[in-house]
Structures are given as structure tokens and as C-alpha cells.
């Protein structure tokens, strides 16, 4: 299996075709964007950190019975994954108030919820990824009712596994975004990435932010936060 042509370049990753039609290669970049792409920058070392951390978590999830797109890590930045057609929904799970939730409902960050929440955004750059409910997603033909129920179940399971895992590393999992894909047989797998770009991680003792919010909010110490998460996960 070899890399052939580039299929797609996104904000944080490139995707290449391979000689096997069922597989693609994802290549993680150090580029970072926020505020709908308005804010652009580089986080040195991010590509390798996100690639390795995402692969580590996907393998952990597979062991716990969550099917993912992960196949094999090639090197620091590149991974072979199953080719999927992405369900155009961003699936967000929250355990603690933060970010757009805190803003939308006029509450402070840090309120611990009695149970996790789920919400969907319609992945559409022209519309700025608007919030969408499951009825609207079905009406627009973005997913079937059955697919949405599968996605919800998988997303809450991912939350349970990740919350426990990060707790053991002294990290509070505040919220995160998932994306799902369809394989050729129609089955749903977890796709995209799980990294400090797509999760809010707070140090369990100090509540220090160890994720992309440091970039989004110009807080400084961005690279150090990614490195610290790498150290917690891999001890390096
Ligand atoms: P939010 O509070 O801004 O809605 O973000 C919720 C979570 O989703 C947070 O962990 C960051 C992640 N996220 C992404 O991965 N991509 C995005 O485009 C956005 C807006 C959020
Ligand atoms: N990556 C998204 C963007 O470029 C937003 C984010 O992660 O905050 O707008």
C-alpha cells in the first residue's frame, strides 16, 4: 500500500489516496485556525502530538468496543485510516460548562453537569457550522434516525472511556468534538481526530488549560500545553 494523490487539504490535516481504495493516509499539520478560520497561526510540534495522541486514544476506544477509522501509524505525522464518507455533523459532548455553551446560556465556565450533554453542529463553512437538532439533520438528509441513535450511543461511550482515562492522568475532560464516518457497508465508525485541538483539557488540580483554548484566547504557553498533554499520555 502506497501514498498516491492528495485528495483534500483541511485546516489541520491533509488526506492522501493510497493504492488500496479502502484506505487513505492522513497527514497532520502544525497549522492552527480558530474563530471560523479568521485567526491563523502555527503551533510548533502540534501535528505530531495530535497524530500520536489521537491514534493512542482511538486504539484505547477500539479495545473498549468503539469502532474507529484507525488502521496504522506510519510515522510521527502520518496515519493510515479507513476511507469513510464523513457524516457532516460535529458531535459535541460536554461534562462541564465552557466555551460556546457558557456564552450562549450566559453562565460561567466550570459548572459541573449532573449528566453529560450532547449537541450537533452542521459541518458547513459557508453557514459557519450552525447548531442543528436531530430532526433538522434528518430533514436535510445528513443522517438517518438510526445513524443518529448509533452516533449518540457511541459518543457517550467515548465520553465514559475518555473521562476515566484522562482522570488517571490528572486531567479533567471538560468537553470535546467528535466526527463520524460511514464505511462502504454503511456501518458507522469514529473518524477525524481526538486531540488538544478538539477537546478541552483542564489540569485536575489547578484547572490550568492544556488545550487549544490557549491559542483561541491568546493566552500564551500554547506549545507548552500541547507538550504537557503529550507528557501525561506518553510520559515523554
Ligand atoms: P465550543 O464550546 O466552542 O462549542 O467547543 C466545544 C468543543 O468542541 C471544544 O472542546 C472544542 C471543540 N471544537 C472543535 O473541535 N472544533 C470546532 O470547530 C469548534 C467550534 C469546537
Ligand atoms: N478549527 C475551527 C476554526 O478554524 C475552530 C476551533 O477549533 O476553534 O474555525
The CATH number of the domain holding residue 29 is 3.30.200.20
Give me the pLDDT at residue 72, please: 98
Instruction: Looking at the structure, tell me whether residues 78 and 150 fall in a common domain.
Output: no
**Is residue 232 situated within a structural domain?**
no
105 CA to centre of ligand 1 in angstroms: 16
Q: Which three cell numbers stand for residue 13?
A: 490535516
Residues 200 and 175 in one domain: yes
What is the model's pLDDT at position 124? 97
Is 236 part of any domain?
A: no
Q: What's the farthest any 2 CA atoms get from each other in the chain? A: 51
Pocket test for ligand 2, best of 9, 28, 36, 217 (most atoms within 8 A of CB): 36
Is residue 42 scored above 80 in pLDDT? yes
- Cα gap 78→75, rounded to integer Å: 5
97 and 75 inside one domain: no
Pick from 82, 100, 118: which residue ends a domain?
82
Domain count, the chain: 2
| Joined grid coordinates for residue 224 | 507548552
Domain boundary among 35, 66, 82: 82
In terms of domains, do 73 and 98 share one?
Answer: no
Residue written as cell 465514559? Answer: 160
With cut-offs at 50, 70 and 90, classify the pLDDT of residue 159. Answer: very high
What stretch of H or E contains 145?
helix 145-167
Which ligand is the nearest neighbour of the Cα of 215? 2
Whether 36 lines ligand 2, by a CB cut-off of 6 Å, is yes
Residue 229 lies in a domain: no
User: pLDDT digits over 97-115, tens only?
Assistant: 999 999 999 999 999 999 9
pLDDT at 225 over 90: yes
Cα–Cα distance measured from residue 50 to residue 12, given in angstroms and rounded to the nearest whole number: 10
Average pLDDT over residues 200-206: 98
Which pLDDT score is estimated for 180? 99
Encode pLDDT of 110-136 as tens digits.
999 999 999 999 999 999 999 999 999
Residue 203 burial class via C-beta count within 10 angstroms: exposed 0-12, middle 13-18, buried 19 and up: middle
Q: Looking at per-residue confidence, does 85 or 35 come out higher?
A: 85
Q: Could you tell me the distance, in angstroms and rounded to a whole number, from the CA of residue 199 to the centre of ligand 1?
A: 7
Are 111 and 76 within one domain? no
Examine the pLDDT at 55 and tell me if it is beyond 90: yes
How far apart are alpha carbons 153 and 150 in whole angstroms?
Answer: 5
Residues 76 and 110 in one domain: no
120 in the same domain as 22? no
Residue 236's pLDDT is what? 76
Give residue 33 CA to ligand 2 midpoint distance, Å.
5
Q: Is 68 exposed, middle or buried (0-12, 13-18, 19+ CB in 10 A)?
A: buried
166 and 200 together in one domain: yes
The CATH number that applies at residue 145 is 3.30.470.20
What separation in Å is there between the alpha carbon of 20 and the centre of ligand 2?
31
Burial tier of 145 (Cβ tally within 10 Å: 0-12, 13-18, 19+): exposed
Same domain, 44 and 29: yes
224's CB contacts (< 8 A; 6+ apart) are: none
Rounded to two decimals, what is the model's pTM?
Answer: 0.97
**Cα-only R_g, the chain:** 17
- For 135, the domain range is 85-221
Which three three-digit cell numbers place residue 65? Answer: 468496543
Same domain for 129 and 199, yes or no, is yes
pLDDT value of position 36: 87
CB 194 within 8 A of CB 57: yes
Is 102 near ligand 2, meaning CB less than 6 Å away?
Answer: no
227, part of any domain: no
Pair 75, 117 in one domain:
no
| Closest C-alpha residue for ligand 1 atom 14 | 198
Distance between CA 83 and CA 21 in Å, rounded? 8
Is 175 near ligand 1, meaning CB less than 6 Å away? yes
Share of the chain above pLDDT 70, in %: 100
* Per-residue confidence (pLDDT) for residue 37, from 0 to 100: 87
Q: How far apart are CA 197 and CA 213, in angstroms?
A: 8
Pair 94, 178 in one domain: yes
Amino acid at each position: 500500500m502506497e501514498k498516491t494523490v492528495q485528495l483534500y487539504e483541511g485546516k489541520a490535516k491533509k488526506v492522501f489516496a493510497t493504492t488500496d481504495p479502502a484506505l487513505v493516509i492522513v497527514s497532520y499539520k502544525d497549522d492552527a485556525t480558530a474563530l471560523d478560520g479568521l485567526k491563523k497561526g502555527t503551533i510548533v510540534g502540534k501535528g505530531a502530538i495530535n497524530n500520536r495522541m489521537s491514534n493512542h486514544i482511538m486504539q484505547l476506544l477500539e479495545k473498549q468496543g468503539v469502532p474507529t477509522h484507525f488502521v496504522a501509524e506510519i510515522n510521527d505525522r502520518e496515519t493510515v485510516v479507513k476511507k469513510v464518507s464523513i457524516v457532516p455533523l460535529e458531535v459535541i459532548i460536554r461534562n462541564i460548562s465552557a466555551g460556546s455553551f457558557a456564552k450562549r446560556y450566559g453562565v460561567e465556565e466550570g459548572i459541573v453537569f449532573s449528566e453529560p450533554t450532547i449537541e450537533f453542529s452542521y459541518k458547513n463553512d459557508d453557514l459557519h457550522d450552525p447548531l442543528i437538532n436531530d430532526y433538522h439533520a434528518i430533514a436535510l438528509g445528513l443522517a438517518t434516525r438510526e445513524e443518529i441513535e448509533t452516533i449518540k450511543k457511541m459518543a457517550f461511550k467515548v465520553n465514559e472511556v475518555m473521562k476515566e482515562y484522562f482522570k488517571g492522568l490528572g486531567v479533567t475532560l471538560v468537553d470535546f468534538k467528535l466526527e463520524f464516518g460511514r464505511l462502504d457497508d454503511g456501518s458507522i465508525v469514529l473518524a477525524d481526530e481526538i486531540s488538544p485541538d478538539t477537546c478541552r483539557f483542564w489540569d485536575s488540580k489547578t484547572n490550568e488549560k492544556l488545550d487549544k483554548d490557549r491559542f483561541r484566547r491568546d493566552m500564551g504557553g500554547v506549545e507548552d500545553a500541547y507538550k504537557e498533554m503529550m507528557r501525561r499520555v506518553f510520559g515523554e
